[in-house]
Structure 1
Amino acid sequence: MSWLTSKFRALGDRQSWALHPEPSFLAPNSKLSNRDMDPTPPEKRTWKMVNFTTYWISDTFNVASWDQASALLTLGMSAGQALACIFVGNLIISWAITATGTIGARHHVPFPVLNRSSFGFYLSYFSIIGRCILACFWQGIQTATSGECVYQMIRAIWPSFEDFPNHLPSSANITSANLLAYFIYWAFQFPWVLIPTHKLRWLFALKSVLVIICGFSMMIWAFIRAGGAGPIFLQPATLSGSKLAWAWLAGLQSVLGTYSTLSVNIPDFTRMARAPRDQYVQLIVTPISFTIIALQGIVVTSTGYILYGDYYWDPLRLMNNWDNRAATFFAAFAFAVATLGTNIGANSISAANDFTALLPRWFNIRRGQVLCAIIGAWVIIPWEILANFMSGYTVFLGPICAIMVVDYWFIRGQKLDVPALYDPNGKYRSTAGVNWRAVAALVVSIPPNLPGLINAINPSIPVWGGVYPRALISYLQFFLAAVTYFIVCKIFPPLQTFVPETITGEEEYPSTPSDERDEK
């Protein structure tokens, strides 16, 4: 009893929550970094080309990708134009992903550390905090989506679950049945955040096989049951000329706005690459995977109109019409597992790296994922989130990506002093920890797009002509930030941060294998 009492007392002691790992071998002290922020040691660089391939195949299969074409068709495009728009948009994203991913693959450090080279040691916290908040929001949104998958799974096993009594008021915006399904999924997802990041490649490999089977099975079933591809493919575009051009730009923005976060998240995974060339496959896999899942969504939705008399872009709503309970369970399970991988790969790991960079004495990646799972699911209340606001987060991430790409590839000649990234008083400190050149690029690139974002959140607020830049938001932001940063750096080059050759600091790596340290 006394032992249990002492344990409870320890929980109230703030110091008992502090981490006690071996200190970072590059940072001056343990308050600035820990081993999870250090460069990935050689024995954890296990990701090969096949792992990045399965990562993207699995990451693209989710409800958002499935019904992405619906927004483009609503704009007035034909099915072929919508698919072309999705392919081109994701091709653009794949270049940005590979550009930032190569930095992580070469230097084996995560986004929060890499960002210091272009933003300055302390200004990097602006990027870190912004990405962390957005990752927690999206973690909750994806968990809510997966809760709907669990609802369909339970309904397939227990049909009367649809009549589950609701004890929540309408103001809660969720029923008791949906909340129960939501909690079940959250409890299923939680243990996965405890798996070390470098071992998650097995989850993505398993998920890629599952989603390929599910996606093509649904598409083949739709073809056979409906006797063809359905009416959507026969509908011509309702726009032409300049209106079609603006719709294309808006469509590309829709694609870029949904997935541009991946361009700043990917270093958290490419840091584990066996060699930089292993992640170049993203250039091909990313646009092809997103386009295939969009094609599957169009086909199944189109044939669903023939079978059920309505367009069900949300596959989870489509399942309500199925009388095959086994098929419903398998499809819902596939989407649940698919969203699990997407949630961990695109949100949970990112937030965990950010928490670790912000408070390295108190957080490692495992603790960071646990906190993200709690905040995203239970603090944010994801079923009440304003979706239009979340779709506008490229206002901040686009310029961050542009500055990092230009800084590394065109200003520094692809050379970094990795140990200096961990020193607040080192060469990447800049002026009081702030690279004013990055501030200038942010000031130029962000404001022009704010009126369109405000109008998207609340259409009743008049912004007049300010709404039009929103259709160009991603291109305009990236271009303005990139050009501004490039020009300013050429006029006022950060000479004190240049190095003739990359300094890796690998000679300081400890000899003890990392897995053995983890056991300790």
Structure 2
Amino acid sequence: MADEQTRTQIEHADGRVELRAGIVLDDPRLYNEDLAPTQVARRTWTTYTYAALWISMAHCIPTYMLASGLIGAGMNWWQALVTILVGNAIVLVPILANSHPGTKYGVPFPVFARAAYGVFGANVPAILRAIVACGWFGINAWIGGQALQTFFRSLWAGWPAALGDAPVGGHLMTEWLSFGLFWSLNILIAYRGMDLLRKVENLAAPFVLVMTAALVVWAIDRANGLGKIMSDPGKFPTFGTFWPVFVPSVTAMIGFWATLSLNMPDFTRFGRSQKEQAVGQVVALPTTMTVFSAMGVLITSASTEIYGKPIWDPVELVGHFESRVLVAVAMFTIVVATLSVNIAANMVSPANDFANIAPKSISFRTGALITGIFSVLMMPWKLIADPEGYIFKWLLGYSGGLGAIAGVLICDYWFIKRTQLELADLYRREGRYAYGPPGGLGTNWNAVIATFVGCFLAWIGLLVPALRDLFDYAWFVGGASSAALYGVLMRRAKP
């Protein structure tokens, strides 16, 4: 194996690997320019780039509203923030584990998944991941559309009824138009590629943070204090009453970034070093998620004093402002925040995942368009309508499936293959990752079986009330069971 790797790839002193000159990758079923290994010379993202990436992705409306579902379930403010912090600290572990191969080998997530699932079997985790991303993309596109709707209304009071005052599908025609405009803006930027994305993230991170901090100061000043939410003791005064709600809530918090815990290679493939990508993520993810959620709690609590009711949705809150200039600035901030997270977190990965199905026919740009179309079909306006349902149904439910995939990937890369991959074979139908005879299906059925067993165990609690605890721990159950089963199956399999 060592001799073969010497012939096909070179490992630099910093641990990053690239193909030797003369190695040809041209199989149209497994390769296109978007899926190709990133050359070492192009791996230029720094610590700041990764910190800015996470700050930009965390500074979004779903994060701002994250505590609302927890407080709505009966937690007080500090219990909600502790839950968010714990969940994000835990999900950081698989994020870093799956970030390593991206920086080392320069490959995107669906190509990395080929090492465990097979060169064609990798489409199973890629599509499962892409479906979830489509849902997330739609949620953020709907939020961005609502921000545009509020902005247009601030400029012209008659805007909401400009295309008729009869709701269509529960919403005015101008709401659908605003949604379509924001959706199109996402697609347009995605078509410009990763370099523009990096620039957008670097600029959006400090801008959104400063503007949100200014909104916190304004809200506390107008309310002459912190408001009622900050003094509410909640419904769980003891550990015994808090724990049954804490566990599924932490699992839901993990679900919030369970998508990125799989596809971080899509970003770390551009990393300058393992240390820089790891430090940037460790510093930015748990802290930003907790701080931004805390800002949402403070502003919402103050809104109770200002407007007589708690307003969790910042788009609705800005709609109460009297100054058109203030509304315009606030809406621009929300649009920037939503745009930066949506493209980075919810479009890059599914675009690559769809491209992985048929690289010859589907480019990154085509994959981005497919993502946008599927996001509309998933009706995101219904997913976001109920904050508590959004936390405990949407996030908790899919975390089990993504946990099962993460378990297989981490077990395979760190414990089976010991971080050593044959880069060229990730793009070959008859290489070591074909997992079968020449001309076969190119699928590692051990990985597929382990994944679906993990999903089954994570979700069975939805159908069998006596096993509800398994669903409450969905991400942990899916990840641990799939990793354990995969390890056993691979140890028993022939090399």
Whether these two folds match at TM > 0.5 is yes
2:371 is aligned to 372
Q: Which of 59, 62, 70 is the matching residue for 2:60?
A: 62
**In 1, Cα distance between the equivalents of 2:26 and 2:162?**
57
Q: Which of 448, 452, 455 is the matching residue for 2:457?
A: 448
**In 1, Cα distance between the equivalents of 2:485 and 2:373?**
39
1:339 is aligned to 338
- Per-residue deviation, 1:319: 1.8
2:469 is aligned to 468
**One-letter code aligned to 1:297:** G
Alignment of 1:118-197 (within 5 A): 118-166=116-164, 168-170=166-168, 172-197=169-194
1:208 is aligned to 205
Check whether the contact 1:174–1:383 (CA below 8 A) recurs between aligned residues.
no
Check whether the contact 1:46–1:198 (CA below 8 A) recurs between aligned residues.
no
Distance 1:178-1:108 versus aligned 2 partners, 3 A rule = same
**In 1, Cα distance between the equivalents of 2:249 and 2:453?**
24
1:112 is aligned to 110
- Per-residue deviation, 1:59: 0.5
**In 2, Cα distance between the equivalents of 1:257 and 1:197?**
25
After superposition, the C-alpha distances for 1:249-285 in whole angstroms (9 at most, x for unaligned) are: 0210121122211111211111111122221121221
Unaligned runs of 5+ in 1: 1-23, 455-462, 496-520
**Secondary structure, in 3 states, of the residue corresponding to 2:316?**
helix
- Per-residue deviation, 1:294: 0.3
Distance 1:453-1:197 versus aligned 2 partners, 3 A rule = farther
Distance 1:418-1:441 versus aligned 2 partners, 3 A rule = same
**In 2, Cα distance between the equivalents of 1:35 and 1:162?**
44
**In 2, Cα distance between the equivalents of 1:335 and 1:78?**
26
Give the CA RMSD over aligned residues.
2.1
**One-letter code aligned to 1:424:** R
Distance 1:453-1:106 versus aligned 2 partners, 3 A rule = farther
**One-letter code aligned to 1:406:** C
**Secondary structure, in 3 states, of the residue corresponding to 1:200?**
helix
**In 2, Cα distance between the equivalents of 1:26 and 1:285?**
39
Check whether the contact 1:26–1:422 (CA below 8 A) recurs between aligned residues.
no
Check whether the contact 2:228–2:301 (CA below 8 A) recurs between aligned residues.
yes
Q: Which of 435, 438, 443 is the matching residue for 2:444?
A: 435
- Per-residue deviation, 1:423: 1.0
- Per-residue deviation, 1:26: 4.4
**One-letter code aligned to 1:473:** A
- Per-residue deviation, 1:215: 1.2
- Per-residue deviation, 1:367: 2.5
**In 2, Cα distance between the equivalents of 1:402 and 1:283?**
21
**In 2, Cα distance between the equivalents of 1:327 and 1:273?**
38
- Per-residue deviation, 1:188: 2.9
Aligned residues: 461
**In 1, Cα distance between the equivalents of 2:366 and 2:23?**
20
Q: Does 1:396 align with 2:416?
A: no
**In 2, Cα distance between the equivalents of 1:25 and 1:367?**
27
Share of identical aligned residues, percent? 29
Check whether the contact 1:356–1:363 (CA below 8 A) recurs between aligned residues.
yes
- Per-residue deviation, 1:356: 1.6
- Per-residue deviation, 1:107: 0.7
After superposition, the C-alpha distances for 1:312-353 in whole angstroms (9 at most, x for unaligned) are: 111112122221222222122111111111111111111110
Check whether the contact 1:26–1:38 (CA below 8 A) recurs between aligned residues.
no
2:87 is aligned to 89
Greater mean alpha carbon deviation, residues 317-326 or residues 305-314: 317-326
Unaligned runs of 5+ in 2: 1-21
**One-letter code aligned to 2:82:** A
- Per-residue deviation, 1:375: 3.8
Alignment of 1:313-332 (within 5 A): 313-332=312-331
- Per-residue deviation, 1:439: 3.0
1:76 is aligned to 74
**One-letter code aligned to 2:398:** Y
Check whether the contact 2:117–2:444 (CA below 8 A) recurs between aligned residues.
yes
After superposition, the C-alpha distances for 1:471-499 in whole angstroms (9 at most, x for unaligned) are: 11111111212222233334x2563xxxx
Check whether the contact 1:25–1:38 (CA below 8 A) recurs between aligned residues.
no
**In 2, Cα distance between the equivalents of 1:429 and 1:72?**
45
1:357 is aligned to 356
**In 2, Cα distance between the equivalents of 1:322 and 1:137?**
31
